[in-house]
Structure 1
Amino acid sequence: MKKRQIVAGLAASSFLVIGSAFPALASTESSSLEELVKLNPGATASELKASLSEVASDEDITLNQAIDKALSESQESVAEATSPLPIDGVGTPASGSGGGTLVLGSASRKGDVFVTPASTLGYPHGHTGIYYNTTTIVEAPGTDKVSRSISASSVKVAKGAVKQYIKTTTTKRSAAADHSYKYLRGREYSSSFASNKYINTPKMNCSQLVWAAYKAASGIDLDGNGGLGVYPFNIKDSSLTITYKTL
């Protein structure tokens, strides 16, 4: 990203005014934004528009282009999280805890991640978390909850969940895990995945937390497609993540 700083905050969108002189553009923007809101349950149109206004400025594109790009990525995420997965992976809560019938259990190493089928209010994007140590995960569990650490033995996931390690050094994996535990717990939940690639915000969703832990502590970008937002299955599909167990 050309000018985008990975810091907290949302930029104001006052520099973009869609007036009556551009009815077609306004109509297209409104339609795409409405669909994007549906695919990010819990996020509001004003929140998404403000966030994407900042992205548009950083990327030197129009707000309408940013919305369309975010919508396309969100649609791809839903499609990927749905089509290859078994039926019992759809409709589970957006949380690794209580979201399935299988016990997540321990990891092979500190800094590993897991990705499981899950959905928010009927829209599947998946869920992910990072292992602080081999028996404890750090996750942003979902709406109205704060990010936390929890024993992996008490976490339930859906069939098709994977455990992965990151192709990097033990030192960098450990640094990311420590960062998640020390700095990313206690954050309120963010419902917007559309442009969530910030390492320090008051609110975080699950994939943002995992991405931020590695980006902040080790400089590693786990977003598999380099889009405006990072979704759980973007992490699963990253060239830097290697699946070693499928549940």
Structure 2
Amino acid sequence: MKLKKLVLSTTATSALLFTTLGFGNIVSAEEKVSTKDHILNFILEKNPGLEKEELMADINKIVVDEKKSEMEILEQIKNELKSQEENINKGEITTLGNNKGTKIIGNSKKGNIYYTSAATWGLNHGHVGMYYKKTHIVESVPKLGVRSISAKKRKVEKGAVVKSVKVSTKKKNAAVDWGKGRIKKDGYSVNFATNRTTGHYGSKNCSKLIWSAFKLKAKIDIDKNGGLGVYPRDVRDSGYTKLVRKVK
């Protein structure tokens, strides 16, 4: 019986050698660049208005602080965004973070928070605000930044919820008073992707406002998953929150 010769191309030979030596998962530098660009584009697509330079500056800081690779951080941000997409009820009506819902949220106790379906700059991640007194809410919205609005004028979508925060009244009041103190001082930031890693003062989105307030003054982390970005649903679903009522 004659033996057949096995002729391998240079590429095939290299692949066989790498596999034999246990390097089957080696990725070329070109493929890594391609993957990095793909993830970056996905993140920027889901955070319209966020500049690539700003995002990369935050990522580079996280790499140093957490001692992780750039790709590990990018993958983490991507997975958080995909998780947000998976949690979206496709039947939700979005309000673009504006006061355009079909229902009125109404009054509630100081320190309570509310959540409504909303899309801000393209990503339907919801919107949150908190009561700094029974009749008024502090929240951060595009263009205006941190503002005050009457609870009797704040429109939300059907299914919006009001929730209490499980922390002492003293700490809760301190958190809310801090949030109120940011009115007309802090602008709006479109960066949800890495907002946990940015400063507590200065431009911020709705979930960063509430997260910072309770993190600084109540010493609790009201972000459900503790990822690099704190999104409105993370605040809504935090173990520190308890349902008060649902808007029907």
- The answer to whether the 8 Å contact 1:90/1:124 transfers is no
Aligned-residue offset at 1:184: 5.2
2:96 corresponds to which of 77, 93, 97: 93
Aligned-residue offset at 1:185: 4.2
1:178 is aligned to: 177
1:152-167 to 2 correspondences below 5 Å: 152-167=151-166
- The one-letter code matched in structure 1 to 2:86 is A
Q: Does 1:23 align with 2:30?
A: yes
2:145 is aligned to: 146
Aligned-residue offset at 1:44: 1.7
- Matched residue of 1:140: which SS? strand
1:3-18 to 2 correspondences below 5 Å: none
1:55-134 to 2 correspondences below 5 Å: 55-80=62-87, 82-83=88-89, 87=91, 89-95=92-98, 97-98=99-100, 100-107=101-108, 109-134=109-134
- The answer to whether the 8 Å contact 2:107/2:151 transfers is yes
Structure 2 spans left out of the alignment, 5+ residues: 1-27
Structure 1 spans left out of the alignment, 5+ residues: 1-20
Q: Does 1:54 align with 2:53?
A: no
Identity among equivalent positions (%) equals 34
Aligned-residue offset at 1:231: 0.2
- Matched residue of 2:194: which SS? coil
Q: Deviations over 1:190-230 (max 9, x none)?
A: 10101112452321000000101111111111000111110
Task: Kindly report the root-mean-square deviation, in angstroms, between the aligned alpha carbons of the 2 structures.
Answer: 1.6
Structure 1 residues 22 and 201 mapped into 2: Cα distance closer, same or farther (>3 Å)? farther
Structure 1 CA distance, aligned partners of 2:166 and 2:153?
A: 27
Structure 2 CA distance, aligned partners of 1:55 and 1:152?
A: 38
1:34 corresponds to which of 35, 41, 45: 41
Structure 1 CA distance, aligned partners of 2:120 and 2:145?
A: 16
- The answer to whether the 8 Å contact 2:46/2:122 transfers is no
Q: Deviations over 1:82-136 (max 9, x none)?
A: 22x6x3x3332123x22x11101111x2111111100124420100011101111
- The answer to whether the 8 Å contact 1:184/1:209 transfers is no
Structure 1 CA distance, aligned partners of 2:125 and 2:232?
A: 7
Aligned-residue offset at 1:48: 1.3
Aligned-residue offset at 1:64: 1.4
1:216 is aligned to: 216
2:15 is aligned to: none
Q: How many residue pairs get matched?
A: 219
Structure 1 stretches of at least 4 aligned residues deviating more than 6 Å after TM superposition: none
Structure 1 CA distance, aligned partners of 2:212 and 2:199?
A: 5
- The answer to whether the 8 Å contact 2:146/2:182 transfers is no
Structure 1 residues 199 and 106 mapped into 2: Cα distance closer, same or farther (>3 Å)? farther
TM-score, normalised relative to structure 1: 0.84
- The answer to whether the 8 Å contact 2:117/2:160 transfers is yes
- The answer to whether the 8 Å contact 1:115/1:126 transfers is yes
- The answer to whether the 8 Å contact 2:223/2:235 transfers is yes
- Matched residue of 2:175: which SS? helix
- Matched residue of 1:50: which SS? helix
